[in-house]
A and B are shown apart, each in its own frame.
Chain A
Amino acid sequence: MTTYRPTTPAELQEIVRAHPRVFVRGRGTKPGLASPPAGAAIVETTELAGVLEYEPQEFTFTALAGTPVADVQRMLAEHGQYLPCDPPLVRAGATLGGTVAAGLSGPLRYRYGGLRDFILGVRFVDGEGRLVRGGGKVVKNAAGFDLPKLMVGSAGRLGILVEVTFKVFPRPPAHATCRARFDTLEAGLRALFDLWVRPLDLEAVDMEPDGGGLTLWVRIAGIERALAPRIERLRSLLGGEVEVWQGAEEERLWEEAREFAWVPEGWTLVKVPLTPKRIPALEERLESAETRRRYSVGGNVLWLATPHTPDRLEPLLHEVGVAGLVVRGKVAGSPFLGRRTGMAFARRVKNALDPQARFPEV
């Protein structure tokens, strides 16, 4: 197995053309997506790094796929801007391309949307070694098929990302987080459903089940002097004892969530998209099992951690009717688990972009 670190798109194109099987990875922060099949040439995008364009007044940037997200965030912060899709594992070293290919957004995605909602343009090398561009560099664009969105979550199965363009937003000047614990799952979910239909601008809503109860973490952001009345309203809506965090400690809460600091070393970590209504069924099956769980994005994602291998989760995910993506853990072939939708359509897309199946199966 040869590992290549191309420094130009042209070099990458040559590598793809020269090998019948090609596997791409970034800096390996998501091992479930980074273990290559036997016999594949490995492409690491680490040398295809750097910001190509950034005009702060345009609220967009273009960077090579191997650029660490941390570098981009530092650059944006200097101009009071941020990536609202909130990529996880930034401190661990995640790259832009790896984040897009894995399709991982963080807890703040609750407010304005995930990667798919902020990616504007891509360049990638397809399964025939052709360099293809899709989308554009302006915040609004409806020309041609939306290839940038297609690449979100494509996990190196449709093409190898070379370059991405994102839109960004002004970073809110102040943040606050309210924490409330409910003694039963039902009470916690009732609180969630109540919040979720109110005219509130919430940045993030995460939940942690524990011993039959549920802890809610609700983040708001905005102009400092307007925060106090908003916190008070949240307090009364949540009821009971509400703890309020602000400042650096509050910041750290969310950083630890997006770095998965709560997942023990060596454990499997799986992303499970769902809707909040499925939580009771999942909890019923998971409560007794040896797992740790964090429901994020208002119950639209479950981050599921277990000391066992990912394949042990297969039956459970099928039973509840949800899919999974192995972020960390031992993967034999595919990082995908459970019941996925749209496979017939996905295969057609795959045949169009990678007819010789140089990249792994979708």
Chain B
Amino acid sequence: MTANTFLAALANIYPPDRLLRRPAQLLPYESDALTAFRARPLAVVLPERAEEVIETVRLCAREGVPFVARGSGTSLSGGSLPVEGGVVIAMNRMNRILRLDPQERVAVVEPGVVNLDVSKAAAPYGLYYAPDPSSQPICTIGGNVAFNSGGAHCLKYGMTSNHVLGLKAVLADGEVIEIGGESLEHVGPDLVGLFVGHEGLFGVVLEITLRLLPKVEAYRTVLAAYRSLEEAGHAVGLVVASGLLPGAMEIMDRLAIEAAEAAVQAGYPQDAAALLIVELEGEEPQVEAEFEQLLEVIRSSGAYEVRVAQTDEERARIWKGRKGAFSAVGRLSPDYVVQDGVVPRAKLGEALAEIERLSNAYGLRVANVFHAGDGNLHPLILYDGREPGALEKAEELAGEILEMCIRLGGSITGEHGVGMEKRRFLPAMFSPEDVETMRRLRRAMDPHELANRGKMFP
């Protein structure tokens, strides 16, 4: 089949307005949030029904054409980068919440549903969807499922995987499968557990059953300012050691504070070398008791200024600065790459010192905004893409940070996934047998490696 006859076959599935093929139409799909990589697909299709996705995948399987499913394109690992000459299946129009059952505390959604819209739909019933990636106002559940997305509140309730109960998907060879269900429990191997985080390599998810949680009764959000990054890191250890289990613990360094302040005027103390955000959540009496304990710990940790959000608005403002930090960094530099390696909590201080050393050695500024509670770093490496060789230098620095994470006993990615960007580091974390096992699983679902070809594996 030639490209033209393949396009004609796609035109049998999609009306002209949902089959994009002109260069100007394809341009917005050429990359995702990791803008350093670009690829031109043959076509972009905009399915509105599961049957259209299934037909598309079956056509691709029959003709050996690679395809990539894409949500809102917020992947920071290049996970939704097209395959050159392949098909992009843009899932945004499959955005219906099919069922929301407050008694069972589940929502059955299509993959194009935006993360935050699940919580909005659940709110009238006193429920919410817990995983909260910073991109939650735009990222889709399908993308969250493919990359097992995290967020600031993973410490207590886990990542996407911990909130997915069941899935319907079309595997890359065209077979439609259903796994899991609506119960919190299961018998037999945890197939849903394997599927979440497949990075688009098994096929395309069509329907997702999500677990909802009752809304939190009370929050206590504390912002503490420190004279050094090390002190803030140390404070995290003290909080954890005191037996508290906060909903979130986040750190921002000087550069990140400066950027966030310029972008959203969160009212952060401007002279701080590091800010620590700790948020307690739960039943009112319990949170109040924990709060007293937390303040004691924070005061003994060397914080020179401690602020407590008194209202919902103040809490929202603290989080606005933190969640907007990535895009805010765009004000400091024309380009940046962000890593999300993980280190054991006790090695945070060591890791941050090493990042600073590398930053100086490379002559590149690095802003740090991270999920301190679970050791999940987010160094943002600033560079100017117009300078020849700048991206390569930034990537090299990023690579050194990942190698450090592995050396310290951590992981190359906490929540962004391996995607395009960290493929070459997978063998540094896993043995050839481990990687081979993952490949075998991939081929069991996708014998010709059509689904998101070129991602995750070196």
Tell me the A residues contacting B by CB distance below 8 Å: 55, 57-60, 80, 103, 105, 109, 112-114, 116-117, 126, 130-134, 136-155, 157-158, 169-171, 173, 193, 196-201, 222-223, 225-226, 229-230, 271, 273-277, 297-298, 300-301, 323-325, 336, 340-342, 344-346, 348-349, 351-353, 362
Contacts and interface: CB of A to CB of B under 8 A. Distances in A.
B78 to A, nearest CB: 14
12 contacts: A103-B187, A136-B410, A139-B375, A142-B150, A142-B416, A144-B438, A201-B282, A273-B185, A323-B186, A336-B188, A341-B166, A342-B180
B185 A297 contact: yes
Contacts of B158: 113, 117
Nearest to B212: A197
A134 to B, nearest CB: 7
Given A103-B190, A196-B105, A341 B411 contact: no
A153 B433 contact: no
Interface in B427-452: 429-431, 433-438, 440-445
B189 A349 contact: yes
Contacts of B186: 103, 153, 273, 323
B285 A140 contact: no
Interface stretch (B9-17, B66-74, B171-179): B171-179
A342 B375 contact: no
B304 interface: no
Interface string B400-436: 0000000001111111111000100010011101111
A297 B180 CA distance: 17
Nearest to B443: A352
Interface in B219-252: 237, 240-241, 243-245
B243 A344 contact: no
| Size range of the chain B interface in the assembly | 35 or more
A300 B414 contact: no
A105 B190 CA distance: 13
Contacts of B112: none
B125 A197 contact: yes
Contacts of B196: 146
Contacts of A225: 289
B289 A348 contact: no
B349 interface: no
Contacts of B154: 140
A153 B349 CA distance: 38
Closest 7 CB pairs of A and B: A149-B193, A342-B179, A199-B217, A273-B185, A352-B444, A226-B285, A325-B187
B184 interface: yes
A136 B430 CA distance: 9
B411 A344 contact: no
B185 A145 contact: no
A341 B289 contact: no
B375 A140 contact: yes
B375 A146 contact: no
B285 A344 contact: no
A193 to B, nearest CB: 5
Contacts of A301: 183-185
B214 A58 contact: no
B190 A153 contact: yes
B220 to A, nearest CB: 13
Contacts of A140: 150, 154, 159, 342, 371, 374-376, 411, 414-415
Interface in B283-302: 283, 285-286, 288-290, 293
Nearest to A126: B437
Contact of A142 (B105, B147, B185): B147
B361 interface: no
B208 interface: no
Given A139-B375, A142-B413, A273-B185, A117 B162 contact: yes
Contacts of B237: 57
B444 A351 contact: yes
A250 B430 CA distance: 45
B449 to A, nearest CB: 14
Contact of A145 (B187, B197, B375): B197
Given A140-B154, A146-B197, A198 B410 contact: no
A143 B194 contact: no
A170 B189 contact: no
Given A57-B237, A147-B437, A348-B444, A142 B197 contact: yes
Contact of B414 (A141, A201, A277): A141
A297 B186 CA distance: 12
A225 B287 CA distance: 12
Contacts of B191: 150, 342, 345-346, 349
B456 interface: yes
B331 interface: no
Given A103-B187, A273-B183, A297-B184, A138 B344 contact: yes
